[in-house]
Structure 1
Amino acid sequence: MPEPSPASRRTRPVAAALLCGLLLLSFVLAHDGRRIAQVAVLALPALLWLRLRVSDPRWRRVRLVAVGAVLVLFLLDSAVRAFLQAGYRALPDSALVLSAVANTTPHEALEFAASQGASLAGQGVLLVAVIVGALRLLTVCNRHEAALRRPERWAMALLVLVCVASLAIKPWRRHHPLVYWPAWVASAHALQRDWSDQQQQRDALLSNARQAGVRFTGTGPSTVVLVLTDSVNRDNMSLYGYVRPTTPQLAALQQDERERMLTLRHAWSVEPGTVASLSGLFSFGTRDADDPVDRTHHVLALARAAGYRVWWMSNHDDTAIEQQHARLADSLEMINRESGRSGASLDGELLDCLEEALSDPAPRKLIVVHLLGAHPHYRLRAPADAPLMAIATDAVDAEMVDEGRPAWLRASRRAYDRAIAYHDTVVAASLRLTRRHAPRNGDAAWMFLSDHGQEVGHDISHAGHSPGTPAGYRIPALLWRQGAAFDARTAGRPFRADWAGWTLTDLMALEWQGARHDRNVLDARYVWQAPRLAAPVERFDQ
């Protein structure tokens, strides 16, 4: 075979350097610290193969395909990791990502892609350009090479030994895309299997509640309604001072009820996703993946053991929440029959279910109403004929322009605020129904909060769940109770959603062995402890 031309000999080292630099840059964007070096070593065997002399054209084609496939895998791996780090400050195998994937249908995945269309399209074009460039450089590097000189052979042997050692060490090997992603898929499937039928755990939780000696300390009938919503940031509610009139009905109820309605001004979620947030809320902030079920209490199990009849009604189509929480209820109604969250099912359709439960003659009732709230897609969280919340020239839009927020994000904020305005009518109606059906010779209470917040251009140019910014954790929390007034000073206390169970059980007048009064925001013994969030929050009381 003829020797390569001088021009070709000069081109190949440049192409090889550019290819190595491109890969290294992708690793730097996707990994931190020594992990960059580890992944670089794992990718090294493919690059070393390119330096070996291969004279047979057929084997060069085999090498081109094999090395190209490996490099594309590493580039895709880096792209996914960089996307998750930039948007969610999360690793692919974090609880946030694994639970989201395990709890997402293919249809929901398409919805997510559609909701992030502009951002994903730009990143997709960049990724394709990088892959095409890498493959073009690889084609140049794959041409005939001269035989290795003796120093090069020694260097090659040493590098091969390093590569073999890295592949033999499990903590290193598991980061190779060919090892990592099959294991990741297996983890997601295992999580789905764990959620598929948790009857045994539910039975254990009911047993725990009975053994704790939970008792009802009230003197008459009791009705408690818990309204949970999704992805609502209090910063977008006029009740909390937002300039767009997004919550006029709740504001009117606050004016009418005065000291009987409490708006907690500094409420926070401690989790940026629904599944983890609700797990913390219903387990009093004590349960995590490592806690055995025989040491755990669940709000619904305690309520049932104390004689409450429990309803769960939901506008979510969610396997994890249904298995972990909803099926602990005596009565379950899931009105969202469409896979995913882009259907026409609106939260207002739950109001008839709520009124039916409120009309039930059971003396003690706990009713959980789980709304979709303002979960993306924002435009689908309100009726098609709902009025627009604002025009493009109002004060909010002008402020976003000054902050450099793009036009698509300003449009998302308007759609989000429109969803909040419709949501206001549903939440206010739920309180009016609770008030109307409150027992005359007993107690009634209503509690409303969101599972987590939402970033819609508050801190960064992003729309959606946001583990890395405070907007992803700022939530509303409202309470109402019949007769007894709230201490006005309580409104200024910081509040965390994973402690909401202590307040809810107080509203239900429940006592049991191990109850923590210092975590009940309504109790004089309340002691605030700041949660550890992935986002930078300097103060929780503002």
Structure 2
Amino acid sequence: MAFNKISIPPQGALRHAAIACAAIVGGITLFLLQGHSASRSAQLAVLMLPGVLALLWPLPGARAHVLRSVFVTLWTGLFLLDGAVRSYMGDAYGAAPDSSFVIGAVANTNWREGSEYARTFAPTIGGWAIALCMAVAGAAWLAAHGNRRTPVPRLAARVLVALLCVSVLAHAFKPWRRLQPVVFWSGWTQSVAGMRGEWDRYDGVRARARALAESARPAVKGDGPSTVVLVLSDSVNRDNMSLYGYGRATTPALAALKRQLGDDMLVIRNAWAGEATTLPALNELFALDQGNDGGEDLHLLALARAAGYRTWWISNHDDIGIEQQHARLADVATTTNRNPGRSGGGLDEVITHDVQAALADGAPRKFIVVHLLGAHPYYKLRYPAGTDAFAAADAVDAGLAAAGRSWRVGTLRKEYDAAIRYHDTVVSRILGLVQAGAAPQPEANVAWMYLSDHGQEVGHDADFAGHSPGTPAGYRIPALVWRNRPWPAAADLANRAFRADWAGWTLADLLQLQWQGQATRYNVLAADYAWNENRLPGPVARAIPD
């Protein structure tokens, strides 16, 4: 209908509808902030626009007006319900609804247990329900004030169309679209159902891994106590560590330990990941391939348990795949982070208490895996707020500019380096705890190994920041080893090329494991170690020495 043919309504009707729109968007955004970060609340506000901006368009018919009011109320109610559920879970458990903690709990709950839970926590749930009902009632009242006859001025109409286009584009962009309540909760229900099915499958996978480990009949050389700690980081590139010669002082604590320990702390200069993403990298790291024959591999955790080690998996990640394929093979599996995804917070220092408890356990033989977030994007969430150690311009900035890197990549490099600096304090502290525990037992075998699952591109080989399977930076990692016993008499261990997908064999040596089919040529500490170049993309493989 052309605007110039619409009859003139009472003055201020369009203005009232605009106020109602602004009030709904503002009020729901404030509500969403209780369960979302500020950035995600802003994203949801954009996704919300189509259902709210409908209030501004003229609908002269009474029935159309009522239907629009009902639609806007239901539409906004979905966003309000999403915010209420997230707020409740955040307050009660510090967990996001798509965390493995929540999905696992729901997948493991039946209707009877659910009703019992609801009765137990009725006061808290009831409080949120009342708040939700009041918010929906307010939205319904505002939705009744939609524009009925007032023509929308041409400029305002263009602005509305532009806003709708932005919202449509946001819906087309997967990281935004998955936040939309209908999309998110539909996917969430599928995740719950999928987890129930995956449990059955992974229970069988883990049972086979344990049986295979038992059939290998592993044993531990020596009768004394043994403690081995593996610290796994995420997305740490050795080129950003001052321990490896980087220009910014990103690893002062580890550098100090290296000066103190000398050759007792092995800093492998030329270490490479086999994959550029976490789960495939961990799958390779823990697999002990019996001769690359394509058969089923031994899993290091299962092998250590079969040999008599008590095992721990202490994680600051929230990842269902890692939990099912690796963590649940341990005797004790602890996850401290319950907010999955890149925007999930949770500083790595939170795992320290669990590491101390594991080290203090009375088991004579302990294998402790510590899985840290490290410098996983978003980098700014990986260190305490306000501790941007490299805010001032320096030679690294000048080098990035000379290489043609953008301002954005330069800024992300600063955040990444600040994350490495914080990460240095956590990693060095864990080594300190291991050494302190070793001091009263000089006869014990005590070892510590630190690796990153993969590297990170932060302007090294391209004007890009993030996971990078196509550049060498995506695979360059640190590899550090300490133990309380002398290293074997082998030539220049620190300069040997090292593959993280073979790290399980080196860890088996540190654990003093022996079994039929053991292949020492994959162990970087062994005299017969035989380097074989990784099968990586061409530009990456050419960066790795033969």
Q: Which of the five TM-score ranges fits, normalised by the shorter chain?
A: 0.5 to 0.7
- Whether the 8 Å CA contact 1:469–1:535 is kept in 2: the answer is no
- Whether the 8 Å CA contact 1:233–1:454 is kept in 2: the answer is yes
Q: TM-score, normalised by structure 1?
A: 0.63
Taking structure 1 as reference, are residues 434 and 488 closer, same or farther at Cα in structure 2, changes over 3 Å only? Answer: farther
Aligned residue number for residue 164 of structure 1? none
Q: Which amino acid aligns with 1:441?
A: E
- Whether the 8 Å CA contact 1:493–1:541 is kept in 2: the answer is no
**What does 1:198-347 align with in structure 2 at a 5 Å threshold?**
198-284=202-288, 295-347=296-348
Distance 2:195 2:321 in 1: 8
Q: How far does the alpha carbon of each residue in 1:290-329 deviate from its partner, in whole angstroms, 9 at most, with x for none?
A: 966xx32000000000000000000000000000000000
Taking structure 1 as reference, are residues 189 and 402 closer, same or farther at Cα in structure 2, changes over 3 Å only? Answer: farther
Taking structure 1 as reference, are residues 526 and 457 closer, same or farther at Cα in structure 2, changes over 3 Å only? Answer: same
- Whether the 8 Å CA contact 2:279–2:322 is kept in 1: the answer is yes
Q: How far does the alpha carbon of each residue in 1:398-440 deviate from its partner, in whole angstroms, 9 at most, with x for none?
A: 0110111110110000000000000000000010000011233
SS across alignment from 1:264: strand
1:476 to 475, 478, 485: 478
Q: Which amino acid aligns with 2:332?
A: S
Aligned residue number for residue 455 of structure 2? 453
Distance 2:205 2:462 in 1: 40
SS across alignment from 1:437: helix
Taking structure 1 as reference, are residues 497 and 274 closer, same or farther at Cα in structure 2, changes over 3 Å only? Answer: same
Q: How far does the alpha carbon of each residue in 1:213-272 deviate from its partner, in whole angstroms, 9 at most, with x for none?
A: 111112300000000000000000000110000001101111111121100100000101
Q: Which amino acid aligns with 1:427?
A: V
- The Cα shift of 1:212 comes to 0.8
Percent of aligned positions with the same letter in both sequences?
A: 52
- Whether the 8 Å CA contact 2:472–2:543 is kept in 1: the answer is no
- The Cα shift of 1:192 comes to 6.7
Taking structure 1 as reference, are residues 285 and 494 closer, same or farther at Cα in structure 2, changes over 3 Å only? Answer: farther
Distance 1:253 1:380 in 2: 26
Distance 2:467 2:317 in 1: 17
Distance 1:194 1:407 in 2: 46
**What does 1:27-66 align with in structure 2 at a 5 Å threshold?**
none
**What does 1:123-522 align with in structure 2 at a 5 Å threshold?**
195-197=198-200, 198-284=202-288, 295-391=296-392, 393-438=393-438, 439-485=441-487, 489-522=492-525
The RMSD of aligned alpha carbons is 3.0
SS across alignment from 1:367: strand
Taking structure 1 as reference, are residues 541 and 253 closer, same or farther at Cα in structure 2, changes over 3 Å only? Answer: farther
Taking structure 1 as reference, are residues 407 and 196 closer, same or farther at Cα in structure 2, changes over 3 Å only? Answer: farther
SS across alignment from 1:265: strand
Taking structure 1 as reference, are residues 188 and 527 closer, same or farther at Cα in structure 2, changes over 3 Å only? Answer: farther
Taking structure 1 as reference, are residues 255 and 540 closer, same or farther at Cα in structure 2, changes over 3 Å only? Answer: same
Taking structure 1 as reference, are residues 462 and 371 closer, same or farther at Cα in structure 2, changes over 3 Å only? Answer: same
Aligned residue number for residue 81 of structure 1? none
Deviates more, 1:350-359 or 1:187-196: 187-196
SS across alignment from 1:414: helix
- The Cα shift of 1:515 comes to 0.7
Q: Which amino acid aligns with 1:436?
A: A
Q: Which amino acid aligns with 1:494?
A: A
- The Cα shift of 1:488 comes to 6.6
- The Cα shift of 1:210 comes to 1.0
Distance 1:344 1:520 in 2: 36
Aligned residue number for residue 544 of structure 2? 540
Taking structure 1 as reference, are residues 287 and 337 closer, same or farther at Cα in structure 2, changes over 3 Å only? Answer: farther
Distance 2:278 2:266 in 1: 24
- The Cα shift of 1:196 comes to 4.1
Q: TM-score, normalised by structure 2?
A: 0.63
Taking structure 1 as reference, are residues 535 and 344 closer, same or farther at Cα in structure 2, changes over 3 Å only? Answer: same
